[in-house]
């Protein structure tokens, strides 16, 4: 079957998709977007986390056919400007991860970033303030990391949320 | 010797690979876009022992897009079987001396018996499900319990590097004379590394030359191993590895799937990509073996431990004598004059076990440090005080002085940071609602690799006329931060600003360095990079001051090189910094586009007259639910003395991650064997439990500075493993302090503690 959906703001089409093919597979193998990682194949590790119509999902657990006409956001689309040739600016959560030492091998990072971006947009970005540690830990509990011990990830999310919060505060009338 | 004025080493710089990783641009080994790439999928044996009877491939071959179905009947045979030898040594390094699909014998469940290659992954997976294999099943042994009666003492273990038995002093008489004994057995479940990236390989042939993109901790090990297996000149195999999604030992040795991918690619004449599934990761790249350790301490009433007897019984494969070296650091942890250690093995139908983070030390120090805690309670001594009374001022194994130690400071600073002195020593003395609270401590130790026969470490430095520089070494970055730290080492060695230096790595065409294993990566590679960078610097300074050549325009002409300093890419007189010029000016004036130097360093052998070990102290606070036996680790403090820290940000992350591995070893992690089926029962991330963010305690790392002059030129002892060692013991000791119940088995499970509720 043919599946057409929007990925990071761009309309994309994949042909000859099997009914059983996952969204993750289509992103990685057909659309040239391997940022989302394949690590457990069963929705346990969160490495493949993407936005589907603004809600985070494990893309290994979503059939590609279910995405017809919908909007998908991946790690490749988090940066403010991802057009070819322009200088890529990192979004708040990407910047904070890179600074805080929250990135080591980098394989869990794309999924974590999408999940953290979602948390921050629901909290600091919505004027709810910086999330407390238990909320961060719980929100990211579905994203396994074997390298960091999680502490620096929490630091990064706090930092990104604080910056986002300050920005929202400035923008408010 | 020219001095350098800028100093970036020991600065907490951001990772150089951070931007690529946070934007999703980093390409791992299964993500290399090569035209015409096809996909391989392995079919594993479902029985643990016997032979394949029939392998029906017809149905799979009919699937559209399938290019080949390979079995022992049609797979080209390997040219030679390399021996099992730790990859650190720089030779071919198979993880096991068995190569699958050479005949019909099945040694372990999951062993590849067929491989399907198809144009898409989905078709290859589908066809793999249509390969029908029947078996003649033979009786199997898959657990220690089943094979205990057939245990044997190997002459040597660990690729023949370590003796199977060690003794010093008179352990029998030492124990007989000791008034106090602790005599305990400790049991350990098997562990699987589970890096988040499953191992993957992409193989491309061009005539008789092979390029591999492989998720490996050692690109040279991959090159040499695959070359030997396939009968190729080493120079015909190139390995490229720019990003690896974690290793922890799973990618330290070279496992059969790598060469199988290369064989498949040659067979179908297309680039082939193989990515193991998570389930296959449990039977494709080794594991920490199931084991038990019997530790006997003999001590005087004042707490002086005179004797340690430490015996290990563990499971190995049908074909290799492998045991992780659990005894060595425990044997030198304290100043006991009498010691006996031995390994015994049981052959089981599993693949050969392998290095798993803290390989040996993490289990051996659990046994020793649990026993030491029991001894402290037996004698009514503070656990730190007991350890101080047994502090080894020199290495008990050799009598040599330590090159550096810092353990007393680790106890002291860790204890202060943790608040150890405020603790009520009595077990089961503290509550927080229905939680029982306890704290524990343990010593950490990990050897700095120093062996005869390690390969020279090499790097290349090149400086261009525009002032930019490239440092190159054939190392690989799997998350440790080595690329970042080496950029710092390069900048300082050359005396150029950090943003003018790039560090190239991950390609066997670059100068050779050791694999990143055994906490050796930074020490090894930094020595080579430092050597190359300083050689180039000295070469350029020599050119600037040279009297014989006609470059009398050089501001430094005829200066004494020892009076020249370098900083920000400029050479100048120390006393008159206005006299000098930049590297760029020197090269441009002479019409030269670049300058280059090679650096080489021969790693330390065992003949330094010093003992090289990294030490640390671990502290943990736990809360145990008094009704349910649930253990929560509330906080951990680790104080470590790893010598020179090249980048505190990446080093701290390494140590914190290691401490969480210790917590993971203590509580959630363990692979369970279904001995009836002869298969690992929990081969998925849903059932093999690792800590999630919500499980993680507060983790605090303290660096204790020690000056290290023996290990390598920059004094780097390594941070990859030491964070994990002792952490599980500190947690188990804290569980005892909380509950009064001693658990001598890892992982500690709820059922161990239900009766303490």
pLDDT tens for each residue of B502-530: 999 999 999 999 998 988 989 999 999 99
Cα–Cα distances (Å) from B579 to B270, B557, B559, B576, B689, in that order, read 60, 10, 10, 6, 63
DSSP state of B104: S
Provide the pLDDT for residue B451: 86
For A44, half-sphere exposure in the C-beta direction (CA atoms, 13 angstrom radius) is 17
B-chain residues near A103 (CB < 8 A): 15, 17-18, 21-22
* Residue A39 φ/ψ region, left for φ over 0, alpha for ψ in the -120 to 50 degree band, beta for the rest: alpha
Please give the model's pTM, rounded to 2 decimal places: 0.97
Distance of CA B355 to the CA centre of its chain: 7
CA B133 – CA B213 distance, rounded (Å): 31
Residue A86 has pLDDT above 80, yes or no: no
Compute the distance between CA of residue B246 and CA of residue A145 in angstroms, rounded to an integer. 10
**Which structure tokens are listed for B390?**
């047994």
pLDDT digits (tens, 9 = 90+) for B536-588: 999 999 999 987 666 678 899 999 999 999 999 999 999 999 999 999 999 99
Band the pLDDT of A172: cuts 50, 70, 90: low
Contact A106 B686 (CB under 8 A): no
Collect contacts of B387-391 with beta carbons under 8 A, ≥24 apart: B387/B334, B387/B411, B387/B441, B387/B443, B389/B302, B389/B303, B389/B304, B390/B303, B390/B304, B390/B305, B390/B334, B390/B335, B390/B336, B391/B334, B391/B335
Tell me what percent of the residues of chain B surpass a pLDDT of 70.
99
- Proportion of chain A in helix, strand, coil states, percent, rounded to 5: 40, 15, 45
Q: Which fold has domain B3-25+455-601?
A: Aldehyde Oxidoreductase; domain 4 (3.30.365)
- By CA distance, what is A37's nearest residue in B? B197
Q: What is the dihedral of CA B654, B656, B657, B658, to 10 degrees?
A: 90
Distance CA B96, CA B102 (A): 14
Query: Quick check: is B96 catalytic?
Result: no
Q: Which fold has domain A92-171?
A: DNA polymerase; domain 1 (1.10.150)
CB atoms near residue B673 (< 10 Å): 25
Mean pLDDT value of segment A96-118 = 97
- Cβ neighbours for B534, distance < 8 A, ≥ 6 positions apart: B493, B494, B599
Q: What pLDDT, on the 0 to 100 scale, is given for residue A81?
A: 54
Q: Which residue has the tokens 């074997």?
A: A146
The whole-angstrom separation of Cα B19 and Cα B293 is 45
- For residue A152, CA distances in Å to B246, B344, B693, B723 come to 17, 41, 11, 16
Q: What CA–CA distances, in Å, run from B708 to B9, B382, B411, B614, B717?
A: 15, 30, 19, 10, 8
The yes-or-no verdict on residue A88 having pLDDT over 70 is no
pLDDT number for residue B756: 59
pLDDT band for position A85 (cuts 50, 70, 90):
low
- The mean of the pLDDT values for chain B is 96
Q: Could you give the CA distance from residue B598 to residue B586 in angstroms, rounded to a whole number?
A: 20
Q: Mutation test of the interface with chain B: which of A104, A109, A137, A160, choosing the one with the most B Cβ atoms within 10 A?
A: A104
Residue A32 has pLDDT above 70, yes or no: yes
Candidate from B17, B30, B685 with C-beta closest to A44: B685
**Beta-carbon count within 10 A of B344 CB:** 17
pLDDT category at B24 given cuts 50, 70, 90 is very high
Residues in chain B closer than 8 A to A23 (CB atoms) = none
CB–CB contacts below 8 A, A to B: 181
**Whether B461 contacts B599, CB under 8 Å:** yes
Q: Alpha-carbon distance B127 to B686, whole Å?
A: 26
Distances (CA, A) of A132 to A115, A128, A129, A137: 16, 11, 9, 9
B615: enclosing H helix or E strand? strand B613-625
Pick from B317, B339, B315: nearest CA to B328: B339
State the residue for tokens 């199977």. Answer: B164
- What per-residue confidence (pLDDT) applies to B552? 76
Q: By the 8 A CB rule, do B446 and B329 touch?
A: yes
A156 cis-preceded (ω within 30 degrees of 0): no
* pLDDT tens, position by position, B322-368: 999 999 999 999 999 999 999 999 999 999 999 999 999 999 999 99
Computed over every residue of chain A, the mean pLDDT equals 93
B389-412 residue pLDDT tens: 999 999 999 999 999 999 999 999
At B35-75, the pLDDT tens digits run 999 999 999 999 999 999 999 999 999 999 999 999 999 99
**Structure-token pair, residue B32:** 């290399």
pLDDT at A84 over 70: no
Count of H-run helices and E-run strands, chain B: 17, 33
Rounded CA separation B155/B157 (Å): 7
Both structure tokens of A10: 């761009």
**CB-CB neighbors (< 8 A) of B22 in chain A:** 75, 90, 94-95, 97-98, 103, 106, 109, 113
Half-sphere exposure of B466 (CA within 13 A, CB side): 5
Sequence length of chain B is 757
Which candidate from B14, B243, B698 shows the least CB-CB separation from A106? Answer: B243
For residue range B649-704, list pLDDT tens digits in order.
999 999 999 999 999 999 999 999 999 999 999 999 999 999 999 999 999 999 99
CB B338 within 8 A of CB B173: yes
Q: B206 in helix, strand or coil?
A: strand
Say if CB B270 and CB B40 are below 8 A apart. Answer: no
Residues in chain A with CB shorter than 8 Å from the CB of B699 are: 149, 151
Work out the average pLDDT over B458-477: 97
- Out of 2.30.30.790, 3.40.50.1100, 3.50.50.60, 3.30.365.10, select the CATH number for domain B32-139+196-246+251-282: 3.30.365.10
Q: Which residue has the higher pLDDT, B602 or B4?
A: B602
User: Cα(first)–Cα(last) distance of chain B, in Å?
Assistant: 67
Q: Could you give the residue range(s) of every CATH 3.30.365.10 domain in chain B?
A: 3-25+455-601, 32-139+196-246+251-282, 162-173+287-450+607-754
Read off the pLDDT of residues B225-234 as tens digits, 9 standing for 90 and up: 999 999 999 9
Between these two residues, B316 and A81, which has the higher pLDDT value? B316
The interface pTM score, or ipTM, of the predicted complex is 0.96
Give me B748's structure tokens.
Answer: 């500690």
Domain B162-173+287-450+607-754 sits in CATH at 3.30.365.10
- Indicate if the pLDDT at residue B161 is higher than 90: no
CATH for the stretch A3-78: 3.10.20.30
Mean pLDDT value of segment A62-80 = 95
The 3-state DSSP class for residue B738 equals: helix
Cross-chain CB nearest to A149 (options B17, B33, B656)? B656
The CA-atom distances, in angstroms, between B458 and each of A59, B4, B221 are: 43, 22, 15
Asked if A33 lies within 8 A of B195 by C-beta distance, the reply is no
Find the mean pLDDT for residues A128-152: 95
| Rounded Cα distance, B299 and B316, in Å | 33
Write down the catalytic residue from B369, B721, B745, B751: B721
For residues B586 and B559, is the Cβ–Cβ distance under 8 A? no
What is the reported pLDDT for B757? 52
| Facing A146 at nearest CB: one of B33, B195, B277 | B195
């Amino acid at each position: 079957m043919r599946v057409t959906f929007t990925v990071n703001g761009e309309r994309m089409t994949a042909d000859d998709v099997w009914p059983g093919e996952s969204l993750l597979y289509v992103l990685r193998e057909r659309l040239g977007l391997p940022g989302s990682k394949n690590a457990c194949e069963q929705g346990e590790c969160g490495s493949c986390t993407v936005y589907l119509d603004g809600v985070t999902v494990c893309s290994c657990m979503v059939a590609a056919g279910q995405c017809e006409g919908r909007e998908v956001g991946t790690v490749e689309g988090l940066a403010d400007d991802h057009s070819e040739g322009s200088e890529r600016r990192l979004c708040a959560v990407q910047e904070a991860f890179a600074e805080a030492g929250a990135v080591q091998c980098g394989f869990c990072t794309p999924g974590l970033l999408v999940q953290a971006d979602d948390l921050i947009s629901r909290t600091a970005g919505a004027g709810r303030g910086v999330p407390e540690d238990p909320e961060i830990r719980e929100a990211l509990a579905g994203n396994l990391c074997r390298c960091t011990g999680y502490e620096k990830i929490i630091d990064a999310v706090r930092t990104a949320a604080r910056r986002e919060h300050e920005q929202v505060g400035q923008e408010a009338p | 010797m020219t001095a350098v004025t800028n100093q970036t080493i020991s600065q907490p710089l951001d990772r150089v690979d951070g931007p690529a990783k946070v934007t999703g641009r980093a390409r791992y080994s299964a993500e290399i876009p090569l035209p015409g790439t096809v996909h391989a999928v392995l079919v594993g044996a479902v029985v643990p022992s016997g032979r394949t009877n029939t392998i029906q491939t017809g149905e799979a071959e009919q699937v559209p897009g399938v290019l080949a179905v390979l079995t022992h009947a049609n797979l080209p045979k390997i040219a030679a079987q390399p021996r099992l030898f730790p990859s650190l040594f720089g030779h071919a390094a198979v993880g096991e001396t068995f190569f699958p699909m050479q005949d019909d014998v099945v040694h372990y469940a999951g062993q590849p018996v067929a491989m399907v290659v198809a144009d898409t992954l989905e078709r290859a997976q589908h066809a793999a499900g249509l390969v029908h294999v029947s078996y003649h099943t033979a009786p199997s042994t898959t657990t220690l319990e089943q094979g205990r009666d057939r245990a044997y003492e190997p002459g040597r273990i660990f690729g023949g590097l370590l003796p199977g038995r060690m003794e010093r002093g008179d352990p029998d008489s030492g124990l007989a004379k000791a008034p106090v004994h602790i005599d305990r057995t400790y049991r350990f479940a098997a562990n699987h590394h589970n890096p988040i990236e499953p191992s993957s390989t992409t193989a491309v042939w061009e005539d008789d030359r092979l390029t591999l993109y492989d998720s490996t901790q050692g690109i040279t090990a991959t090159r040499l191993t695959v070359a030997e297996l396939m009968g190729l000149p080493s120079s015909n195999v190139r390995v490229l590895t720019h990003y690896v999604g974690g290793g922890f030992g799973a990618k330290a040795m070279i496992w059969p799937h790598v060469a199988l991918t290369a064989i498949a690619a040659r067979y179908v004449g297309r680039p082939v990509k193989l990515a193991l599934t998570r389930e296959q990761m449990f039977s494709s790249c080794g594991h920490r073996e199931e084991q038990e350790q019997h530790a006997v301490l003999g001590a005087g009433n004042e707490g002086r431990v005179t004797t340690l007897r430490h015996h290990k019984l563990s499971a190995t494969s049908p074909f290799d004598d492998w045991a992780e070296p659990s005894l060595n650091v425990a044997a030198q942890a304290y100043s006991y004059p009498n010691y006996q250690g031995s390994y015994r093995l049981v052959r089981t139908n599993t693949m050969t076990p392998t290095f798993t983070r803290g390989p040996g030390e993490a289990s051996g120090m659990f046994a020793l440090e649990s026993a030491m805690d029991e001894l402290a309670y037996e004698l009514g001594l503070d656990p730190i005080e007991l350890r101080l009374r047994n502090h080894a001022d020199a290495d008990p194994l050799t009598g040599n002085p330590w090159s550096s130690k810092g353990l007393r400071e680790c106890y002291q600073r860790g204890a202060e940071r943790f608040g150890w002195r405020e603790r009520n020593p009595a077990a089961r003395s503290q509550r927080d609602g229905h939680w029982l609270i306890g704290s524990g401590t343990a010593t950490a130790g990990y050897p700095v690799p120093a062996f005869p026969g390690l390969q020279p470490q090499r790097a290349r430095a090149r400086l261009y006329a525009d002032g930019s520089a490239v440092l190159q070494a054939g190392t690989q970055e799997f998350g440790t931060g080595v690329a970042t730290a080496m950029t710092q080492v390069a900048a300082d060695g050359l005396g150029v600003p950090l943003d003018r230096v790039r560090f190239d790595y991950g390609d066997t065409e670059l100068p050779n360095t050791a694999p990143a294993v055994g906490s050796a990566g930074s020490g090894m590679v930094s020595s080579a990079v430092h050597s190359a960078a300083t050689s180039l610097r000295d070469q350029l300074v020599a050119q600037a001051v040279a009297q014989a050549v006609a470059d009398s325009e050089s501001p430094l002409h005829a200066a004494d090189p020892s009076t020249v300093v370098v900083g920000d890419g400029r050479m100048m007189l120390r006393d008159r910094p206005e006299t000098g010029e930049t590297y760029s000016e020197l090269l441009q004036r002479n019409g030269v586009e670049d300058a280059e130097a090679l650096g080489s360093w021969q790693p330390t052998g065992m003949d330094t007259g010093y003992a090289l070990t990294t030490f640390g102290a671990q502290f943990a606070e736990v809360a145990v639910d008094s009704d349910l036996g649930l253990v929560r680790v509330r906080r951990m403090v680790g104080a470590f003395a790893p010598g020179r820290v090249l980048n505190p940000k990446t080093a701290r992350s390494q140590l914190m991650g290691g401490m969480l591995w210790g917590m993971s070893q203590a509580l959630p992690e363990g692979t369970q064997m279904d001995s009836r089926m002869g298969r690992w029962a929990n081969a998925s991330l849903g059932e093999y439990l690792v800590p999630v963010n919500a499980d993680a305690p507060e983790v605090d790392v303290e660096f204790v500075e020690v000056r290290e002059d023996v290990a390598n030129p920059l004094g780097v002892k390594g941070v990859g493993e030491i964070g994990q060692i002792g952490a599980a013991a500190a947690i188990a000791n804290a569980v005892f302090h909380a509950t009064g119940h001693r658990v001598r088995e890892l992982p500690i499970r709820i059922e161990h503690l239900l009766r303490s509720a």
